[in-house]
Amino acid sequence: MPGPGRVDVGDFPVPEISDGQVLVQMQYASICGSDVHIVHDGFHNPDSIGLPGYPGHEGVGVVVESRSALFTPGTPVLTVPQGHEGGCFAEYQAVVEQQVIPLPPGGDPLRLLMAQQLGTAVFAMKKFWQPGAETAAVVGVGSAGLFFVQLLLASGCTKVIASDVNRKRLEAAEELGATGVLAPDASLAEEVLRSTGGLGADLVIETSGADVGRAEAVAAVRTHGYVGCFGYAERAGLSPFPVHMAFRKAATVAWVRDTQSEAGLASFREGFTLIESGAIDIDHHLGHVIPLEDTASGVETARSGKDIVKVIVSLTSGEA
């Protein structure tokens, strides 16, 4: 990322590592919605402009050099750097040992790559989940939203209503068990109120990051209900928010971040278990793999909201 709004491919020296770091030869990296915001919407770390691999932070690879007592060369790993330190969109990445997790033995790296974003959803559920919740809604069923649909159902919700502007993603949500999906131009709040006898949902999780999505979440939640805000902001600084409606409903509204600082990176490890056991279906996330040379167009695809759940960059020649 040589500057705001740009992604280029170039040649760089292999990073040198220091004590407590490992050098990972990357295999795959997936593009997160926050990467799109960093590239295009001014959320970048100025000190990271021009660094190879920035801002990728969802990646898998193999340790090829280690100055950590925790990892030896040859270990397949998931790399989960903080977003402002990400370097996953490069063939080699230097990562601190606290942001690297060994892959389960024999696991498929491409599939286990999804444990990064799944882990962030697992971590969010630990904060958002309300014991006894029966009805829920998910605003935005891209890659994270599809994980939330499944996690809500697994947690005991009997009704999960999904909204999105993309019909293909809504079809995926329905295949994964969502009990109600909306046409792209329909009102989530109206559908939730209709299906709950006018009460509203116990829990609404917003993943779109859009101002209108957060407003819809507050409109759909019941009185004394819970709104979990997972999506990135549209802009830095102030954003519109339906304060009066949230006040009238006495709603609890919470944001979540920083899964990478959880003790033992527990939620990412739970992601491994959920994927390998089949408890969480990730097949919808795996269909769009591109070569490193096409990373710029991949960012644009992720930005466009086309009929693709997840864009994955192959960093190993010939594997796209």
What region, left, alpha or beta, does residue 254 occupy, with left being phi > 0 and alpha being psi -120 to 50 degrees?
beta
| pLDDT at 227 exceeding the cut of 60 | yes
Q: Residue 104 is part of which domain span?
A: 21-114+286-314
Pair (73, 184) in one structural domain: no
Rounded to an integer, the average pLDDT of 223-237 is 94
Pair (108, 43) in one structural domain: yes
Give residue for tokens 């904060």.
127
DSSP state string for 263-313: GGGHHHHHHHHHHHHTSS--GGGSS-EEEGGGHHHHHHHHHHT-S-S--EE
Cis status, amide bond into 55, omega within 30 of 0: yes
- Count CB neighbours of 21 within 10 A: 22
Q: How many domains does the chain have?
A: 2
Give residue for tokens 């920083």.
258
**Residue after which a domain boundary falls, among 257, 275, 300:** 257
Pair (235, 179) in one structural domain: yes
pTM: 0.96
**Tens of pLDDT along 255-280?**
999 999 999 999 999 999 999 999 99
Burial string for 147-159 (b: 16+ CB within 10 Å, else e) reads bbbbbbbebebeb
Pair (80, 124) in one structural domain: no
Angle at 23 between CA 20 and CA 26, to 5 degrees: 140
In a domain, 42, yes or no: yes
Nearest CA-CA partner of 295 in 72, 49, 88, 60: 88
Pair (64, 137) in one structural domain: no
In a domain, 10, yes or no: no
Nearest CA-CA partner of 109 in 295, 309, 308, 289: 289
Pair (83, 208) in one structural domain: no
Pair (248, 309) in one structural domain: no
SS3 172: helix
Rounded to an integer, the average pLDDT of 268-295 is 96
**Residue after which a domain boundary falls, among 209, 240, 257:** 257
Q: What is the DSSP letter of 16?
A: P
What region, left, alpha or beta, does residue 216 occupy, with left being phi > 0 and alpha being psi -120 to 50 degrees?
alpha
Pair (89, 155) in one structural domain: no
pLDDT of residue 308: 87
**Tens of pLDDT along 158-190?**
999 999 999 999 999 999 999 988 888 889 999
What region, left, alpha or beta, does residue 303 occupy, with left being phi > 0 and alpha being psi -120 to 50 degrees?
alpha
Rounded to an integer, the average pLDDT of 118-144 is 97
In a domain, 307, yes or no: yes
Rounded to an integer, the average pLDDT of 228-255 is 95
Q: Give Cα 197 to chain centroid, integer Å.
A: 32
Residue 88 belongs to domain with CATH number: 3.90.180.10
Taking a C-beta distance cutoff of 8 angstroms, is the pair 154, 279 a contact?
yes
| pLDDT at 320 exceeding the cut of 70 | no
Nearest CA-CA partner of 209 in 60, 47, 6, 40: 40
**Total residues belonging to the chain:** 320
Pair (25, 127) in one structural domain: no
Helix H or strand E encompassing 189: helix 188-195
In a domain, 263, yes or no: no
Pair (67, 166) in one structural domain: no
In a domain, 209, yes or no: yes
Pair (152, 31) in one structural domain: no
Per-residue tokens: 216 = 């819809």
In a domain, 127, yes or no: yes
Percentage of residues of the chain with pLDDT beyond 70 = 99
Per-residue tokens: 231 = 């999506």
In a domain, 12, yes or no: no
Residue 216 belongs to domain with CATH number: 3.40.50.720
Pair (178, 95) in one structural domain: no
Taking a C-beta distance cutoff of 8 angstroms, is the pair 227, 206 a contact?
yes
In a domain, 52, yes or no: yes
Range list of β-strands (E), 55-105? 59-66, 76-79, 92-96, 100-102
pLDDT of residue 317: 65
| pLDDT at 151 exceeding the cut of 70 | yes
More confident residue, 307 or 56: 56
